[in-house]
A and B are shown apart, each in its own frame.
Chain A
């Protein structure tokens, strides 16, 4: 048990990256070791994918020490709109 919850991660991302959309899924059956995260934010505009992921990694640096596996996806708002249509 890491004690890390979806709500906790979601709030932290919300606060720092001000996303227009954020999805956190716990893939660990509640033990808090494995997550899937999607973040859509204006702050990603003009930044390469690596930089976008670094922003999320930095935001969750403390939690990443205990999270065993993380699947991360970041998008700019335009990419998110496009994906929703398909």
Chain B
């Protein structure tokens, strides 16, 4: 399938938490993607949508344009773009990630 805006809209709403990353959660291929996976694990987030940009060049470019964000990983919660690794880490450290997850009914 081609990564149109409609397709992205659909994909980011399909799961409560969606991550576009390098590699897969079982085997991240980059330290930044690994950090996001570890933080989600710490919060007990399971079965989130994970999409490997290394396997799909169109996705890799498309996701950056869709979110107007220059890098991967990218994290979506409840269909909303939250940010990359640094933002997720800082939200985690400040305790705000718990609130974001609660909004979609995930208790960490």
Contacts and interface: CB of A to CB of B under 8 A. Distances in A.
Interface of A: 49-50, 53-54, 57, 61, 64, 69-73
B32 A69 contact: yes
Interface of B: 32, 68-71, 81-84, 86-87, 90-91
A50 B84 CA distance: 9
A8 B28 CA distance: 33
B70 A50 contact: no
A50 B86 contact: no
Contacts of B83: 49-50, 53
Contacts of B71: 70
Contacts of A71: 86
B70 A49 contact: no
A53 B87 contact: yes
Contacts of B91: 49
B90 A50 contact: no
A23 to B, nearest CB: 14
A57 B70 contact: yes
A70 B70 CA distance: 11
A50 B81 CA distance: 9
